[in-house]
Structure 1
Amino acid sequence: MFEFRPIINALLRAKSGAILLLMQIAITTAIVSNAAFIINDRIAYLEQETGLPEQDLFQFNMMIFGKNIDLAKQIEVDESLLRSIPGVIDAVYINAVPLSGGGSGGSYNLLPSNEKSPSINASYFRADSHVLNTLGVELVAGRDLNESDVMVTSDVSELPKVALVTQAMHDEMFPQGSGLGKTIYRRDNAIKIVGIIKLLKGPWLQDERRDRSLIFPQVRPSSFQKFLIRTEPNERAAVMRRIEDVLLAEYPDRVIDVIKGLDQLKAEYVAEDTLMVRMLMVLITVLVLITALGIFGLTLFNINKRLKQIGTRRALGARKSAIIRYFLVENTLICSVGVVLGSAGALWMGAKLMALFSLPSLSVSYVIVTGAFVILMSLFAVIGPAKRAADISPSIATRSI
């Protein structure tokens, strides 16, 4: 028998400690459930597959301040120079860098602007025919860009006639079949899809466009330039150290800045999310420790208050296992009520977080696992004090009162 009646009567006589512990368990369950869910969601976001060899890619910015220079020709010279550096697989002049948090986007339709058709937002990259090899992404259908596709122009309204699109964008625009070889529109510019990329994350990992990207074979010369370089494995650091010397030796009237690996750019972009994960992990650890200490302390307090009763029960022949069982059951009752209240609070909190911060809906499985963990943790926390109570000598207990 678990002797529920004496346990409940004892709790009713000393309600304040039990209520405080119950509230602590409820709060811990509610917060830990949501924190664990958010941590898992953020980790999935931080570790999402990008389709890019991040450890082998780096970018740098360059500002040319020299006069009387043909920027288009200089870009070609610089690209050739970069590709000739030992350890470099390919290099490209590009308008935006994936995973960096900065880029360009637009809306694309299946029909021209004067006709009604579904529209989809996507990010885009502009570069020459070396872009796919530089990015190191996989083409799953169609062909790569070639030199005859590349358009060199400073006119922002002009777009090339062909483009590569990501699989995700293709599937959203053509859910019923293949869009390879078909035409999409940016305003009134007709663009033919010549190739489909398996996976290429765009500049914004949290944005709805993160999996939707196009690559245009276009070069827009500018005095402010951005280059992306892909190196052989383990050669990136050595190549990065050589970039400035190589380029300045060829043409000194320029400034090279922000030489960063793609993984570093990504880390800076997701820094707030990384910090959030770490803070929530600390919060969970602190809450669990405080709750465990609270259970431990309350049990010790109850033992000290009940020395005479424990001693009397021992003198009447109660086994040590019965004493231990008593405190385990008492603690389980308190903890179970706290977990039930905390679970309701967790679901309410999850709904509020979803409404206020557009977070995903809290999965009930997280509440169940958290509740089970809290109950298990409480049992471990009470075992030590319960064994201490069971070891009390009947004669010492009665003399101590």
Structure 2
Amino acid sequence: MDIRPIVAALGRHRIATSLIVLEIALACAVLCNACFLIAGRLALMRIDSGIDAPSLAVVALRGCDGCVNADVNARVLAAIRGLPGVQAAGVLNATPFGIRDADAGVTLDAEGRHFGGVPHFYTFGPDAIETLGLRPSQGRGFEAADFQPIENFLPTEAEVWITEAFAAHLWPGEAAIGREFWMGDYHFRVAGLLAHFARPNPGRSENGVAGAQWSVIVPVRDEAQSGVYALRADPLDLPRLAIAARDAVAAAVPEAVIDLDQSRPLSDLRERYFERDRAMAWLLLGVIAAMLLVTALGIVGLASFWVQQRTRQIGVRRALGATRGDILRYFQLENFLLAGLGIALGMALAYGGNLLLMRHFELARLPLSYLPLGAALLWLLGQAAVLGPALRAAAISPAIATRSA
């Protein structure tokens, strides 16, 4: 079909044409970025935490005046391990989806010239590592001599485990075992790699989603810290034991304050942590649905208006031999051209909008694959929206159309 008559007709309705093109462009920009954000949230919610969350619970203390670590740990661990059904328990500083405890920037040289990123430092006692079931995918496990006291923040020299994701960031394409990094005066050597271990705040750290598994596991002696305790049990017994452990600890250490908000099964902590992400995904789905609905209504309204305005023209074409299929294809091609102009502009807006989000909200770069997907969806939407008015136009008989002048 010759598109010159269509272009000429659109040129005579520049304002309406411009408005619908801008509407489609805005819908394309919003659709591509919103779908990208939703995909990112869904991927984050599926993150492998590196631990068997359904089997684990946490008891956290917040405040214990005059307490000594070794004494508190002894009383707390005895109370927890004394509960029938508890398989293991240990002391640590934090867990995935819990309270963030020790984020710190690291460098690849002692002089601090080559910045390596901001991981989260976990400090685990030997029983905590067994309780969480951690095993390195590469390198060696910790030995008794690796568990050291803490000097202010961390051991000054330590053999550590890091995640494969953090190793790939620090030394892309290179072996990480035996490599060194620094955090001020603290010096660390990589003894092993963990396939996965999420930081307490995955997706909400300085490095966003990219740093969700930037974790460092530092072995420390139990008496070097106190306040957070992990326990392992059968998943069926865990909800009951989580409450029982909290009550037992409260009785064993009455001078301590139990953090009821953080003392719960890890599955509950994970579920609560991602509440905002789920809400954001549903909100963005609502925005997408609203934009598509408004765009579809705009296309239907404009096409219906043009059918009414072109009734005589359609009748003349029918009288000259145009079939219903010809009229239908005319309106579909016209909408295809409008959608094409809007989508071309919308792709530029989508990419520009993504650059702004990258600059101000640390969002990742929009993959180019989202642009053709958004374009295809809007083209299909346009064809579906224009179908009703186009069928009504194709149903106009030549006689009725010519008498309408």
TM over 0.5: yes
Q: How does 1:148-297 map to 2 (within 5 A)?
A: 150-151=147-148, 156=152, 159=155, 162-168=158-164, 169=166, 172=170, 176-177=174-175, 179-180=177-178, 194-206=191-203, 207=205, 208=207, 210-220=213-223, 225-256=227-258, 257-258=260-261, 259-297=263-301
CA contact (8 A) 1:137 1:200 kept: no
Q: What SS does the corresponding residue of 1:203 show, helix, strand or coil? A: coil
The CA deviation at 1:242 is 1.5
Return the letter of the residue paired with 2:91: Y
On the 8 A contact 2:73/2:222 being kept in 1, the answer is: no
Task: Tell me: CA distance 1:101–1:370, structure 2 relative to 1, closer, same or farther (3 Å).
Answer: farther
Kindly provide the CA deviation profile for residues 259-283 of structure 1, in whole angstroms up to 9, marking residues without a partner as x.
Answer: 2332433444444444333222211
Q: Is residue 2:143 matched to residue 1:140? A: no
Deviation sequence 1:324-374 (CA, Å, 0-9, x none): 111111111211112122222222222232233332222222122211221
Query: What displacement does 1:288 show?
Result: 0.9
Partners of 1:175 and 1:298 in 2: CA distance: 55
Q: Name the stretch that deviates more: 279-288 or 2-11.
A: 2-11
Letter aligned with residue 139 of structure 1: P
Q: Alpha carbons of 1:248 and 1:272: their partners in 2 closer, same or farther (altered >3 Å)?
A: closer
Task: Give the Cα separation in 2 of the matches to 1:307 and 1:276.
Answer: 46
Letter in 1 for 2:130: N
Distance (Å, rounded) in 2 between the aligned partners of 1:359 and 1:388? 46
Shift of 1:47: 2.3
**Structure 1 position 61, deviation (Å):** 1.9
- What is the aligned partner in structure 1 of residue 395 from structure 2? 391
Matched, 1:372 2:376: yes
Going from structure 1 to structure 2, the CA distance change for 1:124 and 1:220 (only over 3 Å counts) comes to farther
2:366 aligns with one of 362, 366, 380: 362
Of Structure 1 and Structure 2, which has the larger fraction of its residues in strand? 1
Please state how far the C-alpha of 1:195 moved relative to its aligned partner.
Answer: 4.3
- Equivalent in 87, 92, 95 of residue 89 of structure 1: 87
Residue deviations 1:194-231, cap 9 Å, x none?
Answer: 54433212223233464231222223467x72222232
CA distance in 1, matches of 2:20, 2:337: 11
Match of 2:56 in 1: 57
3-state SS in 2 of match to 1:227: strand
1:131 counterpart = 2:128: yes
Query: Unaligned stretches of 5+ in structure 2?
Result: none
Partner in structure 2 of residue 36 of structure 1: 35
| Cα distance in 2 between the residues matched to 1:214 and 1:335 | 53
Match of 1:104 among 102, 105, 117: 102
2-side partners of 1:157 and 1:21: how far apart?
Answer: 60
User: Looking at CA atoms only, which structure, 1 or 2, has the larger radius of gyration?
Assistant: 1
Secondary structure of the corresponding residue to residue 104 of structure 1: coil
State the Cα distance separating 1:78 from its structure 2 match.
2.1
Question: Which residue does the alignment assign to 2:17?
Answer: 18
Between the aligned partners of 1:95 and 1:27, the Cα distance in structure 2 is 47
Answer whether contact 2:136 2:161 (CA < 8 A) is retained. Answer: no
| d(CA) in 2 for partners of 1:241, 1:358 | 39
1:294 is matched by which residue type in structure 2?
A: G
Pick the aligned partner of 2:71 from 63, 70, 73. Answer: 73
Cα gap change, 1:9/1:141 in structure 2, threshold over 3 Å: closer, same or farther?
closer
CA offsets 1:102-137 (integer angstroms, 9 cap, x no match): 1113455677x5x67856453222232111222233
| Partners of 1:186 and 1:14 in 2: CA distance | 65
1:113-171 Cα offsets, whole Å, 9 max, x none, are 5x678564532222321112222333224554466654567x63672865431243556
Please give the alpha-carbon distance, in whole angstroms, between the structure 2 residues aligned to 1:290 and 1:52: 45
* 1:9 aligned counterpart, secondary structure: helix
Which secondary structure state, in structure 1, belongs to the residue aligned with residue 264 of structure 2?
Answer: strand
CA contact (8 A) 2:243 2:264 kept: no
- TM-score when normalising by structure 2: 0.83
AA at the equivalent of 1:37: F
Distance 2:89 2:130 in 1: 8
The alpha carbon displacement at 1:294 in A equals: 1.0
Structure 1: distance between partners of 2:335 and 2:365? 32
Q: What's the C-alpha RMSD, in Å, of the aligned pairs?
A: 3.2
Cα displacement (A) at 1:65: 5.4
Shift of 1:60: 2.5
> What are the equivalent positions in structure 2 for 1:313-332 lying under 5 Å apart?
313-332=317-336
Residues 8/197 of structure 1: CA separation in 2 closer, same or farther (3 Å cut): closer
1:4 aligns with 2:8: no
- The size of the alignment, in residue pairs, is 394
Of 290-299 and 305-314, the range deviating more from structure 2: 305-314
TM-score, normalization: structure 1? Answer: 0.84
Worse-superposed segment, 288-297 or 335-344: 335-344
5+ residue gaps in structure 1? none
SS at match of 2:160: strand
Confirm or deny: 8 A CA contact 1:166 1:199 kept in the other structure.
no
Q: Are the equivalent residues in 2 in contact too, given 1:137–1:198 (CA < 8 A)?
A: no
Shift of 1:45: 2.8
Q: Which amino acid aligns with 2:218?
A: I
Secondary structure of 2:137's counterpart equals: strand
Q: CA–CA distance in 1 between the matches of 2:113 and 2:358?
A: 32
Q: CA separation in 2, counterparts of 1:295 and 1:323?
A: 17
